[in-house]
Amino acid sequence: MKTILVITASIFGEDGQSSQLVSRTLQQLRETHGDFRTIHRDLAADPVPHLDASRFGAFLASQDSRDGDQQRIVDYSDSLINEIVEADVIVMGVPMYNFGIPSALKAYFDHIARAGVTFRYTENGPVGLLEDRPVYVLSARGGIYAGTPNDSQTPYIRSFLGFIGLKDVHFVYAEGLNLGDDQKQRALDRADRDIETLTA
């Protein structure tokens, strides 16, 4: 049975539009490909600590020189990375807050970017060390940003995931959700169609 890693970050939990897009994606995947096991990491309900000097120092310390606190930090980071390694598919719900990704998602990214574990530097530049797999990014936004200079999410997420080896990344947008009921419904209907096409 396949495993899907589900990552959500909406401060509104299951009621958030990005979380609802994730639910529709999982439903569509089940209808199209059969049942699967899920690992759900809700970054709003169970936030990853933000990176600080002590946590970064733990990542840099050699295994032999780590103290107990540093080892616990590394073990936690390893557990996040192992969830990705276990997954055949990753489904991410990403709301837009103030033109960017939620800070909880940035903290998560900071804990899975580990030199020598998920990427390494070479004379030809960085190389991602994670085996590629499909990543579906469901992005909910109050305004309309895709394809404009104000869409900081798409290039950042694509660049970061590619940096650690995840290059098969697909985006679905539900935009203009705060621009009136008609626009909201059109956006959600379009996102549903895009999800159906993407997961076919």
The response to whether 96 counts as a known ligand-binding position is yes
* Pairing label, strands 169-174, 125-128: unpaired
Tell me the C-alpha distance between 153 and 105, whole Å.
Answer: 11
Residue percentage of the chain with pLDDT more than 70: 100
Residue 83 has what pLDDT?
A: 98
- Residue tagged 């990214």 (tokens): 109
178 is known to lie in a ligand binding site? no
Q: Residue 167's pLDDT band (boundaries 50, 70, 90)?
A: very high
Nearest to 16 by CA among 39, 44, 50: 44
**Per-residue pLDDT averaged across 14-26, rounded?**
97
Q: Is 97 annotated as a binding residue?
A: yes
**Reported pTM:** 0.95
On whether 76 is known to bind a ligand per the annotation, the reply is no
Helix (H, G, I), strand (E, B) or coil at 199: helix
* DSSP 8-class letter at 74: H
Any known ligand binding at 59?
Answer: no
Architecture per CATH, domain 3-199, reads as 3-Layer(aba) Sandwich (3.40)
Please report, for residues 5, 15, 96, 195, the alpha-carbon distance to residue 26 in angstroms, rounded to integers and kept in the order given: 11, 16, 21, 10
Residue ranges per structural domain of the chain:
3-199
Reported as a single tens digit per residue, the pLDDT across 35-87 is 999 999 999 999 999 999 999 999 999 999 999 999 999 999 999 999 999 99
